[in-house]
Structure 1
Amino acid sequence: MPNLILPTRAFEVVKKGINLFHHGGFHMVGVDKIVRETEVNKMTFYNYFHSKERFIEICLIVQKERLQDQVIAMVEYDDDTSTLDKLKKLYVLHTDLEGPYYLLFRAIFETKNTYSKAYKTAVRYRTWLTNEIYSQLRQLKTDVSFTDARIFLYMMESAIIQLLSSDGTDESETVLEYFLRRLVFG
């Protein structure tokens, strides 16, 4: 979608919606809750967004663009950080349950059957991220495969699942260290 431009008030509703969906899920947060929490009336909500489906899609587009900006700043403009450390930062950014990727990750599971455009937004981000990871891995080792980038992505996502289903202990960074060491040193 080219150049999403929202009025200031609509953007405030989107920011609140992102938070509501992040913590409550896409199916548990309805339009009534959104308008109550954002203090806009339903007519204004529908004037801005037309439907809950469109609202979810816009929330995910905004979140995707924010996250892409963060990743680009991290991998392309931070010349003082090594590639290895950039990959570790990418990993930490994407495995934070309170971070921006969690909503896109959640969307992959919760929107596929009911909000297909929103689902495609989340999948497009994953594809873009995999390409960014691949680019960084190639800087570490030129003969790395695209499969290695997918494995890196799957490690991040499995870390999220582990954090959601565990008592808070996280051993995923040990797995990351092992993966990177094996990648670099064979």
Structure 2
Amino acid sequence: MPNLVLPTRAIEVVNTSIHLFHHHGFHTVGIDRIVKESKIPKATFYNYFHSKERFIEICLIVQKERLKEKVISIAEHVNHTNVIDQLKKLYFLHTDLEGQYYLLFKAIFETKLTYPKAYQVAVRYKTWLTNEIYSQLRTLKNEVTFQDAKLFLYMIEGAIIQLLSSNVAIEQEKVLDCFLEGVVANKK
């Protein structure tokens, strides 16, 4: 998709809606609520975004690009921190239920049938993230496989599900340390 350029007011609507979708879901937040919370006329909304499907796709693109910037920022500090610390930062960035990945994670489950283009935005981010994780893991050990990177992503998603389904704090760091120790131990 070419660079997305939106007027300032449209970005404000997107930001408001990202918050609404994050906390209430894609199906329970309608256009009426979006325009009410954003304080814009419905005609202005349709002038900017044309449809709810296109709007959700734009919200996810914005969220994806913001998150990619954070991931790239973490990856660029390779000389300033060790790879294990970088992987931990990536893990905790993505398992934060109030963080940016949660909306993309939620989109995987809520948009596939109703908003397929929006769904594809979330899927493309997961693919990009898996490649980024693979690159980081290869820095630790040349023999890692792409399956190791997928496993790391599954750990992120499993932690999110656990956090959502339990009032008890999970021991995320222990699980992550165990995985990373396994990768490093097999390095020798």
Residue aligning to 1:63: 63
TM-score norm. by structure 1 comes to 0.98
d(CA) in 2 for partners of 1:137 and 1:92?
A: 16
The answer as to 2:29 corresponding to 1:23 is no
Structure 1 runs (4+) greater than 4 angstroms displaced: none
| Deviations 1:12-48 (CA, angstroms, capped at 9, x unpaired) | 1001111000001000000000000000010000000
Give the Å deviation of 1:159.
0.1
Q: How many residues align?
A: 186
Residue aligning to 1:163: 163
Give the Å deviation of 1:50.
0.3
Unaligned runs of 5+ in 2: none
Unaligned runs of 5+ in 1: none
Give the Å deviation of 1:81.
1.0
Residue aligning to 1:118: 118
- Give aligned-pair identity as a percent: 68
Q: Could you tell which deviates more after superposition, 90-99 or 169-178? A: 169-178
Residue aligning to 2:43: 43
| Deviations 1:101-148 (CA, angstroms, capped at 9, x unpaired) | 000000000000000000000000000000000000000001000000
SS of the equivalent of 1:85 reads helix
SS of the equivalent of 2:60 reads helix
d(CA) in 2 for partners of 1:33 and 1:78?
A: 43
TM-score norm. by structure 2 comes to 0.97
Give the Å deviation of 1:2.
1.1
Give the Å deviation of 1:78.
5.0
Give the Å deviation of 1:76.
1.7
d(CA) in 2 for partners of 1:36 and 1:89?
A: 37
d(CA) in 2 for partners of 1:173 and 1:41?
A: 47
Give the Å deviation of 1:79.
2.6
Matched to 1:144, the amino acid is V
d(CA) in 1 for partners of 2:171 and 2:165?
A: 13
| Deviations 1:40-60 (CA, angstroms, capped at 9, x unpaired) | 010000000001111000000
Matched to 2:114, the amino acid is T
d(CA) in 1 for partners of 2:8 and 2:168?
A: 38
Task: Give the alignment's Cα RMSD to 1 decimal.
Answer: 0.8
Residue aligning to 2:129: 129
